[in-house]
């Protein structure tokens, strides 16, 4: 298949890249571009060249599938240099996303035009690398250092309207992009902009670089690429173009072979595989035009907010009017918070809330496509809800539970047409956390399961299918992680050392700090419930603390002490006294050994989960840990960590 074609519109040549699905810069595309430069330079009838792409997007970057292989010529920097130094000016016409190598190609063009909905970016750091074809060197020359630092070290793409403000593109084309670009090319001024490689680079004071480095180091918690990208940007302002390109390329090739890059590629492909499980290909999903949530507490309100963010009209059901008011107030607080953080305008927040109807009447659900309950984690309470839903909902409505610990089969017992029932386990805050554990029962039919995945795509969630066991995938591994952390403390390792080790590993918080934030009593009540049910559940160190009234930050103390109004954790003498006799004398263990011990324990539980078929593939477990439990993305997940490449 020819991936690069040339067409003529008068004296304008239109070069089209057509390499589905996202026009990645495979060897064939690079070859085709180089040949197009040579052919068009040699054609006296051509005055200028428009570069466009077929399909849904402009070039989305280098072909990530080629990363594990030795680079094949023509290399991208050379292809871009050929475009930049071509005798005829090239104009990039961008639709969809111009990302990574795709934006670097556009930087090699004399002009960058874009459709209004397009976006541009250099997301290489999200793959553990840096731009490898001039992204750092040309962007500082095009848009200045501050814009380049933000674009390259965060990896966040920029929408066209913002990109033009930042000087990253020259013009937004309304209407048909191709004809707009051809018209632009036909009317070029005689004097063309100087190619970026020939422009001087701006310089910045030492303090700028020191501050930038400090801010990035604080944000990335051990991730390498953003700081290496900053070093490339700095070099681009301090040496000539060729030397800066060489430095960038060396950095790129060096990082491409790194463990962090391998981990981030693993996550990249895992995230792309997750929303479309092969067994569900071709299965028709049920309609998702509206939804309802039973229960307006923290989880219910968060789920309703996620539905509203996706544009679904929502009915919120609560047991009485006062509870309905509280539920709506919880929702309002979520949207107000988004306004404060600049994520929503006031008008948008009002529209979000206006799309929610609060009610106590289950009859209002007669025409709902999907209903999810998020009521108290008590079997009898949940059963009552499904008795009502079974009575009022349509036969083809999807009925879901947000339970995190109960057995969905028991919740669905007695429900008419159980094929429409499924577990959809959201994570708090449900409108923010990306993970969605999808838990079918043996009765769940294929259409309902496929609809669960369709809902995840609609909400922008990362869906992972989980089998039924206590805690499904995520909470089961969490339980193992915490038990292993406690085992270290029993061995004499300091609580603060365990937390410090996991922060150094890349987590935002260690296991004990996280429990103090969430509350030690949640897991305690579960264990007490199991003990009351006659199960032999050993006493944990956490139980000792809860029995002493230490439930975490909310009681001023858990594993640590907290001063009123201050969330900083302070080692606690009372904890030392309470746990005295349960822990061995102090034992030193270095941070790497602690992290290795805890991550290995998570991975072993993951292996058991895989062996039992509770998870379908190891990468799903990694996605659960990364998108639900704060496992550092650049580590790839516990299963990746124990894999040969990890």
Contacts with ligand T1G, residue ranges (CB under 6 A):
21-22, 24, 57, 60-65, 76, 97, 99-101, 104, 123-124, 127, 129, 131-133, 135, 272
Cβ–Cβ under 8 Å, residues 38 and 44: no
**604 or 617, CB closer to ligand T1G?**
617
Q: 201: which DSSP letter?
A: P
Kindly state the helix (H) or strand (E) to which residue 291 belongs, with its residue range.
strand 291-294
**8 Å CB contact between 448 and 438:** no
- Of 315 and 618, nearer to ligand T1G (C-beta) is 618
Q: Could you tell me the smallest distance in angstroms from the CB atom of residue 271 to ligand T1G?
A: 8
> To the nearest whole angstrom, how small is the minimum distance from the Cβ of residue 134 to ligand T1G?
8
Q: Where are the alpha helices (DSSP H) in 359-473?
A: 379-392, 408-411, 446-459
Token pair for residue 387?
């008795």
Question: 281 or 611, CB closer to ligand T1G?
Answer: 281
Q: Is 35 exposed, middle or buried (0-12, 13-18, 19+ CB in 10 A)?
A: middle
Which CB, 64 or 618, lies closer to ligand T1G?
64
Quote the least distance from Cβ 507 to ligand T1G, whole Å. 24
Tally helices (H) and strands (E) across the chain. 26, 17
Using CA of residue 302, residue 303, residue 304, residue 308, what is the dihedral sign? Answer: positive
Shortest spacing between CB 636 and ligand T1G, in angstroms: 16
Q: How far is the CB of 228 from ligand T1G (least distance, A)?
A: 13
Residue pointed to by tokens 């029993």: 490
| Whole-number Å distance between alpha carbons of 542 and 533 | 20
Shortest CB 515 distance to ligand T1G, Å? 35
**324, 361 Cβ separation under 8 angstroms:** no
Minimum gap (Å) between residue 273 Cβ and ligand T1G: 6
Decide whether 270 or 498 has the Cβ nearer to ligand T1G: 270
Q: For the chain, how many residues are written?
A: 646
Taking CB atoms within 8 Å and a gap of at least 24, the contacts of 252-259 are: 252/124, 252/129, 252/130, 252/131, 252/132, 253/71, 253/132, 255/128, 255/129, 255/130, 255/224, 255/225, 255/228, 256/67, 256/129, 256/132, 258/128, 258/224, 259/645, 259/646
Angle at 263 between CA 257 and CA 264, to 5 degrees: 95
Cβ 578 to ligand T1G, closest distance in Å? Answer: 50
Q: How many CB atoms lie within 10 A of CB 12?
A: 21
Residues forming the active site: 404, 425, 437, 475
Query: How far is the C-alpha of 589 from the C-alpha of 493, rounded, in Å?
Result: 7
Strands 314-317, 291-294: pairing is: parallel
- Report the b/e string of 279-318 with b at 16+ CB within 10 A: ebeebebbebebbbbbbbeebbbbbbbbbbbbebebbbbb
> Computed from CA positions of residues 337, 341, 343, 347, in that sequence, does the dihedral angle turn out positive or negative?
positive
Residue 358 CB partners (closer than 8 Å, separation 6+): 296, 315, 316, 318, 324, 325, 327, 328
Q: What are phi and psi of 294, to 5 degrees?
A: -100, 115
Closer to ligand T1G by CB, 64 or 575: give it. 64
Report the alpha-carbon distance of residue 177 to residue 92 in Å, rounded: 10
Q: Which is nearer to ligand T1G, 131 or 296 (CB)?
A: 131
Rounded to whole angstroms, the Cα distance separating 559 from 572 reads 7
Of 101 and 558, which has the nearer Cβ to ligand T1G? 101
Q: How far is the CB of 509 from ligand T1G (least distance, A)?
A: 28
Measure the CA–CA gap between 308 and 293, rounded to whole angstroms. 11
Answer yes or no: are the C-beta atoms of 172 and 116 closer than 8 Å. yes
User: Please, what is the minimum distance in Å from the beta carbon of residue 102 to ligand T1G?
Assistant: 7
Nearer to ligand T1G, 271 or 377 (CB): 271
Q: Residue 639: what are its φ and ψ, rounded to 5°?
A: -70, -40
Nearer to ligand T1G, 13 or 25 (CB): 25
Nearest CB to ligand T1G, comparing residues 252 and 560:
252
Task: Report in angstroms how near the CB of residue 135 gets to ligand T1G at its nearest.
Answer: 5
CB-CB contact of 356 with 331 (8 Å) = yes
């Amino acid at each position: 298949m020819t991936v690069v074609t040339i067409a003529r519109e008068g004296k304008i040549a239109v070069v089209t890249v057509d390499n589905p699905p996202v026009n990645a810069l495979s060897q064939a595309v690079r070859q085709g571009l180089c040949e197009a430069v040579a052919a068009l330079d040699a054609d006296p009838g051509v005055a200028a060249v428009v570069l466009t792409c077929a399909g849904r997007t402009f070039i989305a970057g280098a072909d990530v599938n080629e990363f594990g292989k030795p680079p094949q010529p023509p290399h991208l920097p050379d292809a871009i240099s050929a475009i930049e130094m071509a005798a005829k000016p090239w104009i990039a016409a961008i639709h969809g996303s111009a990302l990574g190598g795709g934006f670097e190609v556009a930087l090699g063009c004399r002009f960058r035009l874009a459709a209004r909905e397009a976006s541009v970016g250099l997301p290489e750091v999200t793959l553990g690398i840096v731009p490898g074809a001039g992204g750092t060197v040309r962007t500082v020359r095009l848009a200045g250092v501050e814009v380049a630092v933000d674009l390259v070290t965060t990896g966040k793409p920029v929408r066209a309207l913002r990109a033009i403000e930042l000087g990253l593109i020259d013009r937004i084309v309304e209407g048909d992009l191709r004809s707009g670009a051809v018209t632009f090319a036909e009317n070029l001024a005689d004097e063309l902009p100087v190619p970026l490689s020939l422009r001087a680079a701006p310089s910045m004071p030492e303090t700028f670089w020191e501050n930038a480095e400090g801010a990035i180091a604080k944000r990335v918690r051990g991730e390498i690429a953003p700081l290496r990208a900053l070093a490339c940007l700095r070099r681009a302002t301090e040496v000539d173009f060729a030397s800066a390109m060489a430095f960038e390329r060396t950095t790129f090739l060096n990082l491409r072979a790194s463990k962090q890059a391998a981990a981030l590629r693993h996550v990249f492909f895992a995230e792309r595989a997750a929303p479309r499980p092969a067994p569900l290909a071709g299965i028709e999903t049920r309609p998702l035009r509206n939804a309802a949530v039973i229960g307006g507490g923290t989880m219910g309100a968060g789920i309703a907010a996620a539905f509203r963010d996706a544009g679904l009209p929502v009915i919120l059901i609560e047991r009485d009017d006062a509870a309905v008011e509280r539920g709506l107030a919880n929702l309002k607080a979520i949207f107000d918070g988004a306004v404060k953080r600049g994520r929503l305008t006031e008008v948008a927040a009002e529209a979000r809330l206006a799309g929610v109807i609060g009610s106590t009447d289950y009859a209002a659900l007669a025409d709902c496509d999907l209903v999810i309950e998020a009521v108290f984690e008590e079997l009898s309470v949940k059963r009552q809800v499904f008795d009502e839903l079974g009575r009022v909902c349509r036969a083809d409505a999807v009925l879901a539970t947000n339970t995190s610990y109960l057995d969905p089969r028991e919740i669905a017992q007695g429900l008419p047409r159980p094929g429409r029932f499924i577990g959809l386990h959201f994570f708090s805050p449900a409108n923010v956390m990306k993970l969605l554990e999808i838990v079918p029962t043996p009765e769940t039919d294929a259409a309902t399961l496929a609809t669960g995945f369709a809902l995840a795509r609609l909400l922008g969630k990362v869906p992972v299918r989980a089998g039924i066991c206590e805690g499904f995938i995520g909470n089961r591994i969490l339980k193992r992680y915490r038990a292993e952390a406690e085992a270290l403390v029993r061995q004499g390792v300091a609580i603060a050392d365990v937390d410090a080790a996991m922060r150094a590993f890349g987590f935002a918080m260690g296991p004990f700090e996280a429990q103090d934030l969430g509350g030690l009593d949640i897991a305690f009540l579960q264990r007490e419930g199991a003990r009351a049910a006659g199960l032999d559940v050993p006493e944990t160190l956490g139980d000792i603390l809860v029995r002493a009234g230490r439930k975490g930050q909310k009681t001023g103390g858990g594993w640590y002490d907290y001063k009123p109004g201050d969330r900083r954790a302070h080692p606690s003498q009372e904890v030392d006294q309470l746990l005295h006799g349960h822990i061995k004398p102090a034992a030193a263990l270095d941070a790497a050994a602690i992290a290795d011990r805890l991550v290995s324990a998570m991975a072993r539980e993951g292996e058991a989960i895989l062996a039992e078929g509770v998870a379908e593939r190891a990468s799903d477990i990694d996605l659960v840990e990364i998108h639900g439990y704060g496992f550092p993305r650049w580590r790839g997940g516990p299963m990746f960590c124990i894999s040969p490449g990890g």
